[in-house]
Structure 1
Amino acid sequence: MSILSGQLRSVIEWSDPAPDLLFERWTEAGDEIKNASKLIVGPGQGCIFVYEGKVEGVFTEEGLYNLETANVPFWTNIKNALYKFESFHKAGLYFFRKADLLNQRWGTPAPITYVDPHYKFPVGVGAFGNFSFRIAEPAAFFRQVVAGAAVYPVRDIQKVLLSRITQPMSDYLANASFGYTEIDKHRNAIAAFCSSAVAPIFGTLGFQLLDFNIEGTRFDPATQERIGRISDMTAEAQALKALGIDYAQHQQLQAMRDMARNEGQGNPGMQMGMGMEMGKIFGQMMQQQTTPQTPTPAPPPADDPMEKLSRLKKMFEAGLINEQEYTAKKQEILSQL
């Protein structure tokens, strides 16, 4: 009786499909579809009719359809009884999602590496975003991608996308000459190039890429460390420029201070020598700050003690000289008044 009730079933539809499915095969007991069965295709759905191993029909419009096969109720059962109820006439229905699939997530599986054109160091950058697509050629997609699988989820097509997006993005970044600080500013241009590069590939698979967006980027740890060092050095250079000291002079002072701390510990004579040497370097800096760089017909201006004291205080606050050195040099400047 269960076999006969199955044979009398005449309405087939895709009820409550899971939101992450692109294709799903409809099955019933005995895997048979009777002659003159009714097929219901709902809104946003489509269906592929496979009969005896061949795609015989693609239903892309919603509505009610008649199916004609060689399976006839009751007579099929009589024949099946001789063959352990295995039907001669195998038919299959594969429902697919026709509606647009929006806001599908993607992300590069590994950092994309290229050379920063300004600083000449390797940059490892990853990207993430979303894309939207629809099945444009169901039969082609079914033959080339689904290949008769019982189910085909959205995540499988995401893997296809990721496998094809990395190379175009790498080529674009290598040729675009964007510094690491310019990546986010050009996200739309990068996304447009990647979309145009992969759209034809997906067209051959049977679906249409509607949009492709880059929401953000992230640098790998090695790149973040390099960027951090560059940022620190840039900030330090700006601070030294405000003090009127170049980077070479700063390094010279720092080296002298380190030597005084490390080698002159417990040796007052060596510490005094180091202090005198630093005083000479400081005096040269102060002289450079007050000496005109280009000759002019007017007489050179007199030294301005207030300017010297101001610069001296800035150097003390920046940690370039200690309190003892600051006090001694301050007294020296004041004694010249």
Structure 2
Amino acid sequence: MARMIDVVEFLDQTGEEIVHREPEWGPGDFRFGSQVIVRENQVAVFFRDGKALDILVPGRHTITTGNIPLLARLIGMATGGKTPFQAEVVFVNTKQFIDQKWGTPEPIWFQDPVLRMARLRARGTYSFQVRDPALFVNKIVGQQGIYASRQIEDYMRGFIVQKFIDLLGEMRKSLFELPAMYNELSTGVKAKLNDDFGLIGLSILAFALHAIAPTEETSKAMEQATAMGAVGEADYLRYQAAQAMRESATAPGNHSEMSTGMGIGTGLGLGAGMAGMVSQAFHPSQSPSHAGGNITLEQVRQAIDNLDLRFSMGEISEENYNRLMKKWQDRVRELGGNPNDV
């Protein structure tokens, strides 16, 4: 005979579980008079036959026909009002989950107006909250059959990457332009996510794009485009400098506003001047002075820092690294600097 459940509760030691099912193995035997303990930042959702039914808020509850009317009506029709009855209790964490990581598991393809096709990786953070527990349980637990928090996180990350890819396709911007558009990209992806996540009971509180990194073959294509004159060399160096500034602003230990998902695009060291320089390649009618002036020694140093970072992460080969490093050290000399100081 199945064990009768007299008390059901879930103590989340980590505070990071999004959902938890009791009993974990499936429906259990409850009876009127059983106790349900719901802790702060939790709601308990009674679940049966693939549907979310009654919701209990934080506190200690004794199961009666009064506090589970939907379930009582259902089991009344099925069992004539007799107990025990079978059900599950899904505990949903309603806290704000902040600084969650997302990224492209593999390089993604997108159509670039300059490079034709390009491959890149992207990463960032997001914050979310379960706003409608019953809807969330119906859509995720009931329809998707997902019970584990890790599965839910993977589901959300996959959704985020898809919306990011969709937005890149809609914007039709080149990889050379993207470093100046992180704020616009972040805002656009957040809006798309809230439109769709609202349908499953979730709300995206913040979304930040921290880095876009081309693959090694795409980096070579960018250099070739520069060599062929499709993009000016100075503009390519400015692109690299912008990337370096972005990486620096979101590196571990940097407590910029962007790292918390707030005020994206501020406090990054990438002001309007840099944004203008990156976009100058696509607006040749503007003079270089309007785009922030000629390439500076500091911008070349930033590009070298970015090269070091990408090499340390294994994104470019040693041969490619040495070739680019020599090129930029020569540029340092042209600008009157000492390559040994960079």
- TM-score of the aligned structures, taking structure 2 as reference length: 0.53
Matches within 5 A, 1:1-80: 7=4, 10-27=6-23, 31-50=28-47, 55-59=52-56, 61-68=57-64
Matches within 5 A, 1:252-263: none
In 2, the alpha carbon distance for the partners of 1:135 and 1:156 equals 15
Residue 211 in 1 paired to residue 206 in 2? Answer: yes
Q: Quick check: 1:40–1:63 contact (8 Å CA) kept in 2?
A: yes
Q: Quick check: 1:52–1:90 contact (8 Å CA) kept in 2?
A: no
In 2, the alpha carbon distance for the partners of 1:54 and 1:172 equals 34
Q: Quick check: 2:115–2:225 contact (8 Å CA) kept in 1?
A: no
Larger Cα-atom Rg: 1
Q: Quick check: 1:21–1:152 contact (8 Å CA) kept in 2?
A: no
Residue 173 in 1 paired to residue 168 in 2? Answer: yes
Structure 2 runs not aligned, ≥5 long:
66-82, 235-329, 331-342
Q: Quick check: 1:47–1:96 contact (8 Å CA) kept in 2?
A: yes
In 1, the alpha carbon distance for the partners of 2:110 and 2:223 equals 18
In 1, the alpha carbon distance for the partners of 2:157 and 2:94 equals 22
Q: Quick check: 1:130–1:213 contact (8 Å CA) kept in 2?
A: yes
Aligned length: 215
1:141 counterpart (132, 136, 143):
136
In 1, the alpha carbon distance for the partners of 2:166 and 2:145 equals 37
Question: How large is the RMSD of aligned CA atoms in angstroms?
Answer: 3.5
**Per-residue deviation, 1:19:** 4.4
**Per-residue deviation, 1:53:** 6.8
Q: Quick check: 1:112–1:166 contact (8 Å CA) kept in 2?
A: no
Residue 113 in 1 paired to residue 109 in 2? Answer: yes
**Per-residue deviation, 1:97:** 0.9
> What is the match of residue 95 of structure 2?
99
Q: How big is each residue's C-alpha offset from its partner over 1:260-305, in whole Å with a ceiling of 9 and x where there is no partner?
A: xxxxxxxxxxxxxxxxxxxxxxxxxxxxxxxxxxxxxxxxxxxxxx
Q: Aligned in 2, Cα 1:51/1:172: closer, same or farther, shift over 3 Å?
A: closer
In 2, the alpha carbon distance for the partners of 1:19 and 1:126 equals 30
Q: Identity rate of aligned residues, in percent?
A: 23
Q: How big is each residue's C-alpha offset from its partner over 1:106-133, in whole Å with a ceiling of 9 and x where there is no partner?
A: 112343434443x444222221111111
In 2, the alpha carbon distance for the partners of 1:167 and 1:55 equals 28
Q: Aligned in 2, Cα 1:56/1:226: closer, same or farther, shift over 3 Å?
A: closer
Structure 1 runs not aligned, ≥5 long:
70-86, 240-317, 319-337
Q: Aligned in 2, Cα 1:90/1:189: closer, same or farther, shift over 3 Å?
A: same
> What is the match of residue 259 of structure 1?
none
Q: Quick check: 1:52–1:89 contact (8 Å CA) kept in 2?
A: no
In 2, the alpha carbon distance for the partners of 1:162 and 1:64 equals 35
**Per-residue deviation, 1:232:** 6.2
Structure 2 residue matching 1:15: 3-state secondary structure: coil
- TM-score of the aligned structures, taking structure 1 as reference length: 0.54
